[in-house]
């Protein structure tokens, strides 16, 4: 609870850097709207992707994260992959709230 109630800066920075390296255009758009950390990546990580994955898929992901030992780095990459998968929708978002809505609802 070191960062409570704010998102953990190091975790958000890691995901932001992965997103920036994988899709500079999407990162720049999200950054220009002010929706990279708290309104985009953090909601995905803080809910452990439960709002965007089906229960069956989520169970498979958690099996890899917890049992196979893939851990937090895998969750970081999965959060970024959700953004990449929803890229075209996110590029149309113009407010942090629009990003939050897009990234906290099933596809």
pLDDT value, residue 70: 74
Q: Give per-residue pLDDT as tens, 39-77.
A: 889 999 989 999 999 999 999 999 888 887 778 889 999
Q: Tokens 């049992």 identify what position?
A: 67
Kindly report the average pLDDT of the chain as a whole number: 89
Burial grade of 25 (CB within 10 A; 0-12, 13-18, 19 or more): exposed
Beta carbons of 34 and 23 less than 8 angstroms apart: no
Task: Please tell me the pTM assigned to this model.
Answer: 0.87
Q: Where are the domains of the chain?
A: 9-103
């Amino acid at each position: 609870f070191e960062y409570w109630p704010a998102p953990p800066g190091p975790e958000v920075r890691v995901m932001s850097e992965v997103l920036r390296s994988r899709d500079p255009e999407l990162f720049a758009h999200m950054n220009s709207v002010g929706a990279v950390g708290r309104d985009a990546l953090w909601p995905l990580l803080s809910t452990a992707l439960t709002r965007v994955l089906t229960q069956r898929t989520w169970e498979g992901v958690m099996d890899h994260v917890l049992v196979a030992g893939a851990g937090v780095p895998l969750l970081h990459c999965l959060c970024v992959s959700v953004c990449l998968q929803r890229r075209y929708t996110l590029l149309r978002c113009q407010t942090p709230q629009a990003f939050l809505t897009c990234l906290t609802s099933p596809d």
